[in-house]
Structure 1
């Protein structure tokens, strides 16, 4: 009986010692793999959405800048087409418009460069945005060309305007010169001795030095005369006991004033008439 129990115990122990281990379930590994992949895809999707939102913001800013650039261009074109470019204020405003355009263009180029860099570093496939960036780059390049042409046109306008200003200045100078010639007159006042010594008058006629009269020299010394504008001067100081006009001037166009037997001033009452016969006035004082 004891032998039977012993044998049974051996059989039981043998049975326990040879039990097969439990094998891993292949479905669990597949689930874990799918979970990891799902986490990766979710993370990538979130990152992609974040990048798309950032790109959309950049694209909107670039488009807004392009609209502002077009507005600045229209302001310049409006002034150019209506011929309002001319005053310093107009030119200053155009310069400010061009400055704004330059800043907006630089901003756009910077944003596009940033978009390209971020898209490359992100290592994401965002086909629509890649196409959009290419399109924006082309539009910015086109706008840059338009701005360059606008600069060239404005430079040509500025050059033409400069030539016009030069021509107008030359015309004004010519008019001023002609006007000055019309109103430019000269006078010389002094004693007979002074005027003779300075080559203004000479004595002619008479006999043996008696009865000679003062005459304006044919080649008188022009440097001794004082130049005035007949439209501005209507009084000439004399200062003597008497005065004799050697040049021809209508008697009703002037008067000589003074007190106590002296002559003080020559008053020109009608300038155009006074200087009509001679542009030179010579007064001999005694």
Structure 2
């Protein structure tokens, strides 16, 4: 509405500046009057154009203000939005400076034309005040935009920190998971071997002597053993009817049954069977 008011005031001011019909020497002054009228119309049109351009700038400023005030800060697109707003603000500032320069040029032309009046001066003053107001609003918007950018930067920093914390937590979780899996595997891993006495001695798994009972060595190499899972190893073929256990396992946790001229080890209670050792040594002779 402000720029419409300015246009109405400007129209009245230009109309007041229109040359009066001469009372004498009409023919001599006709051409000069036409020139003055053309000049007045041209300068009026220039002022009208400036008023419209200033109005357009005001609408653009309102749009930018609305974006800064209403649009939520987006962590992903905040930098892009900030850059676009900065470009728009710079373009608006350049436009404002151009309007100010053109207004000064029109004012100077009117003052030199002899058509300048107090009404025209009032119109120009109003337009200049509007330009000053716009300049002040641009400064305010720039300040708000800088604050918004600071908020975006702080938000991005927070997000980066959270992402780092999440990554760290995920790594810790994965590490715990791997350790738990490894611990579980170690917890339920057992080793067994079914061999003759001589083979077991050659592998330094057992030791025996004259009048000494056969017993397991303390530091044997487990590379000769077969690895198994305590939870799934429920039975084991002993390959000979003379086979017997050399490792220490509670008697109630297992039984040995005959199976087609051989023996079969049945583990009835895995938890107690493996409670004393993770190694099962079966001698076949």
Query: Quick check: 1:120 aligned with 2:120?
Result: no
Quote how far apart the aligned CAs of 1:48 are.
3.1
Whether the aligned pair in 2 keeps the contact of 1:65 and 1:104 (CA below 8 Å) is no
> How far apart, CA to CA, are the structure 2 residues paired with 1:199 and 1:53?
98
Structure 1 residues 36 and 237: CA distance shift in structure 2, 3 A: farther
Provide the residue aligned with 2:44 in structure 1: 41
> How far apart, CA to CA, are the structure 1 residues paired with 2:242 and 2:53?
106
Quote how far apart the aligned CAs of 1:283 are.
1.0
Whether the aligned pair in 1 keeps the contact of 2:238 and 2:265 (CA below 8 Å) is yes
Whether the aligned pair in 2 keeps the contact of 1:192 and 1:214 (CA below 8 Å) is no
Provide the residue aligned with 1:198 in structure 2: 203
Provide the residue aligned with 1:251 in structure 2: 251
Gaps of 5+ in 1: 1-21, 73-97, 207-211
Secondary structure at the residue paired with 1:219? coil
Provide the residue aligned with 1:276 in structure 2: 275
> How far apart, CA to CA, are the structure 2 residues paired with 1:62 and 1:233?
75
RMSD (Å), alpha carbons: 3.1
> How far apart, CA to CA, are the structure 1 residues paired with 2:265 and 2:91?
85
Provide the residue aligned with 2:227 in structure 1: 227
Quote how far apart the aligned CAs of 1:194 are.
2.1
Whether the aligned pair in 2 keeps the contact of 1:69 and 1:101 (CA below 8 Å) is no
* Greater Cα radius of gyration, structure 1 or 2: 1
Secondary structure at the residue paired with 1:220? coil
Gaps of 5+ in 2: 1-24, 103-127
Provide the residue aligned with 1:139 in structure 2: 144
1:4-19 equivalences under 5 Å are: none
Secondary structure at the residue paired with 1:249? coil
Secondary structure at the residue paired with 2:244? strand
Structure 1 residues 135 and 223: CA distance shift in structure 2, 3 A: same
Higher normalized contact order (CA 8 Å, seq sep 6+, divided by chain length)? 2
Structure 2 length-normalised TM = 0.67
> How far apart, CA to CA, are the structure 1 residues paired with 2:237 and 2:79?
66
> How far apart, CA to CA, are the structure 2 residues paired with 1:254 and 1:48?
103
Provide the residue aligned with 1:105 in structure 2: 82
Structure 1 length-normalised TM = 0.67
1:86-105 equivalences under 5 Å are: 98-105=75-82
- Deviation track 1:104-146 (CA, whole Å, cap 9, x = no partner) reads 2222122112222333344455222222222221111111111
Provide the residue aligned with 1:14 in structure 2: none
Equivalent residues, number: 233
Provide the residue aligned with 2:111 in structure 1: none
> How far apart, CA to CA, are the structure 2 residues paired with 1:118 and 1:240?
103
Whether the aligned pair in 2 keeps the contact of 1:184 and 1:279 (CA below 8 Å) is yes
Whether the aligned pair in 1 keeps the contact of 2:238 and 2:262 (CA below 8 Å) is no
Secondary structure at the residue paired with 1:187? strand
